[in-house]
Structure 1
Amino acid sequence: MGKRSGTLETTLLAIELLRRIPRNRKVTAEELHAQVKEAGFDRDLRTIQRQLDLLSEHFHIERDTRTKPYGYSWQKNASGLSVPGLTLQESLLLRLAEEHLRNLLPAHLLKSMDGFFAQARQNLDPLGPPSLERDWPAKVRVVATSQPLLPPKIDPTVFETVCEALYGNRYLTVTYKNAGGGVTTSRVTPLGLAQQGPRMYLICRFDGYDDNRALAIHRVQAAEGSTLTFKRPKGFDLKQYDDEGRFGFGDGKKVRLTFRIDKDHGHFLLESRLSEDQSVKDLGDDYEISATVVDSAMLEWWLRGFGDAVSRVRRLKIRP
């Protein structure tokens, strides 16, 4: 492929910047510089600043000069930059992705998608022409499996810093307040991010230790990313960490669990099994369930939740 002309490169850069300027919040030239660099535009910061100043003169872009670094955003009633070829079906997928994956994507990637998300929301505006795609979000919902709880408040600056350090494999210094009220400041190696119900957890390793810990992000009072990078531990696997019951307050040890449950409460276990090797005995009014599971506090809470409907609980330890 031939080299693109300077005029074409400048035009493509301008379009890329326009797509990434958000609504309802400010973005700095430094942030846009990092985003377009990842998109393949190798320009210095001063070039990006000049482009933004030029675009602000010709488009409905607000340039906030009250504090440095300056912030840029589309004006409230501006139409913005439309994303060509974004169908209603694609808009629907993007809308659902924005709603359900917002806390699981790196902050800078979410920012780079702002233009697409805004266009998707506009395409699915319920005040627009009737369509089956516009009706779909009102037809689907993720429902809670336990008592719904409001998510704890997370400092957005802390969350963004944590995500950026995790994404870039960079060390992170966190000030953490534990459940007992104690506050410590430590350098950690961020390894994973998990959402459990309304809570978000950072899985990490503290300096000088090789065991993995889960920190509730809403308890992180301050976070500072380092410029130093690390190599991810070869033995760490987030899926395995979850499979071992670590988020259920277990230590990964498995047991052969056997218990009786009355049929009114236990029928669902015939459809949603506890494990692949689950076995069921029909005892008339009860079922006897046997399954290999990870022993954890969450398992204990689950069993106790059935009250008198569950009896004769036995756990047989399984040797590794």
Structure 2
Amino acid sequence: MAKKSNTQESLALAFEILKRIPKSHQVTAKELHQQLQHIGIERDLRTIQRNLEMLCEHFDIIRDERSKPYGYRWNKNSEGMSLPKLSAQEALLLSLAEEYLIKLLPANIAASLDGFFQEAKHKLNPTGNSSKEREWLKKVRVVSETQPLLPPKISTETFNSISEALFHDRLLNIEYYNAKQEQKSVLVMPLGLAQQGQRMYLVCRFDGYDNERSIAVHRVRKATVSSFGFERPKEFKLSQYDADGRFGFGEGELVKLSFSINKQVGRYLFETPLSEDQTIDEYDNKMNVMATVVESKQLKCWLLGFGDNVWNVRLIK
């Protein structure tokens, strides 16, 4: 039985290596070693090198021995197991997804897509024929509405554990510190991940409680995936959690907000209203605004940011 298990593991490893050998460019044993580590396959570099030597003998794989480290790729005329040839449009889509969505993908899926991302970069390189698509990446950008901040540092190992527990619905042991710098160690039920600006939050339930909380992922010092699973609460929806203003430090309580604002400053509220029921009364130099919103610290900070340009603020519960 042990021999059969070892054979299956060897075949699985060879298959994962074959999937990651590209046709359009070369990859080194070290790069393959890192890609396999990202999806949880722990083998030493020498094992990967031995597998590559064996695969070169049995498959139409070219090893470039002109310099070290050696590069490997499928023969361009071979059907092989290389990734499907990407169109310029598909390469553009993948490049944008990697830049803006990679943190919202489960870590194991993001790692499995690494070969596609590398293929997309190669497709859009300056020596290729996809100049218009490559230039498009320079023509679009997601910009910040507030003062730009550098993203906080998040441990890759910690994030991978959080992602794994969330993906498989497993309980998670975490060690973190809160805003008061107090150290905590808790068992949580991970329910969602949300990115707000440069910060990422883990929405979870603490063991023994039936309410949800948000923990800044960069404050998690250590995360260990439990072997115990859990059933996600049917009443919980991440979209509703967001709609209730929980990421703006609110409790979901709706209030009727009214205020006066300098007309020049507040004119954009015609284009991007606060709510579906927003109403605006215009005067010579001011506007009176009324809307139903979620009461939160974020709302208060938004109003304070206008300084003397906003007055007569009222919240009716």
TM-score by length of 2: 0.81
**CA distance in 2 between partners of 1:271 and 1:205 (Å):** 38
Query: Within 2, Cα distance between the matches of 1:204 and 1:17?
Result: 36
Supply the distance in 2 between the matched residues of 1:288 and 1:24 (Cα, whole angstroms): 61
Report the 3-state secondary structure (helix = DSSP H, G, I; strand = E; otherwise coil) of the residue aligned with 1:110: helix
Show the counterpart of 1:248.
248
Deviation by residue 1:143-163 (Cα, 9 ceiling, x = unmatched):
100000101111110000000
CA distance in 2, matches of 1:211, 1:225: 21
Instruction: Give a deviation string over 1:18-74, Cα, whole Å, max 9, x none.
Output: 23478386244894769xxxxxxxxxx9xxx9998433442579xxxxxxxxxxxx9
**Residue ranges of structure 1 left out of the alignment (5+ in a row):** 1-9, 35-44, 62-73
Q: Displacement, 1:13?
A: 8.8
Structure 2 CA distance, aligned partners of 1:122 and 1:147?
Answer: 34
| 1:215 counterpart = 2:215 | yes
Please show how residues 292-311 of structure 1 align to structure 2 within 5 Å.
292-311=292-311
User: Structure 1 residue 127: deviation in Å?
Assistant: 3.7
Q: Secondary structure of 1:138's partner?
A: coil
Give, in angstroms, the shift of residue 14 of structure 1: 5.3
1:170 maps to 170
Q: Give the drift of 1:180.
A: 1.5
State the one-letter code of the partner of 2:260: R
1:130 to 1:164, Cα distance in 2 relative to 1, 3 A: closer
The 5 A counterparts of 1:198-209 are 198-209=198-209
Letter in 2 for 1:168: H
Aligned 1:76-95 pairs, distance under 5 A: 77-79=71-73, 82-95=82-95
Identify the residue that residue 261 of structure 1 maps to in structure 2. Answer: 261
- 2:143 aligns to what SS in structure 1? coil
* Aligned amino acid, residue 266 of structure 1: G
1:215 partner letter: I
Aligned to 1:38: none
What is residue 152 of structure 2 aligned with on the other side?
Answer: 152
Q: SS where residue 180 of structure 1 aligns?
A: coil
Letter matched to residue 51 of structure 2: L
State how far apart, in whole Å, the 2-side matches of 1:121 and 1:234 are.
41
Partner of 1:102: 102
Shift, 1:83, TM fit: 2.4
Contact conserved, 1:277 with 1:292, CA < 8 A, in 2?
yes
Aligned twin of 2:279: 279
- Cα distance in 1 for residues equivalent to 2:237 and 2:254: 18
Cα drift, residue 139 of structure 1: 0.4
CA contact (8 A) 2:193 2:202 kept: yes
Aligned to 2:4: none
Q: Which residue of 2 aligns with 1:237?
A: 237
For residues 111 and 75 of structure 1, what CA distance do their matches in structure 2 show?
23
Displacement of 1:128 in angstroms is 2.8
The C-alpha deviation readout for 1:226-252, integer Å capped at 9, x for no partner, is: 111100001110000000000001111
Give the Cα separation in 2 of the matches to 1:309 and 1:97: 39
Report the AA paired with residue 145 of structure 2: T
Q: CA separation in 1, counterparts of 2:295 and 2:283?
A: 25
Aligned to 1:54: 51
Counterpart residue number, 1:132: 132
Residues paired across the two proteins, number: 283
**CA deviation digits over 1:165-191, x for unaligned, max 9?**
000000000001112221121110000
Aligned residues of 1:20 and 1:115 also touching (Cα < 8 A): yes
Identity across the alignment (%):
46
Query: Which of 26, 29, 50 in structure 1 is aligned with 2:34?
Result: 26
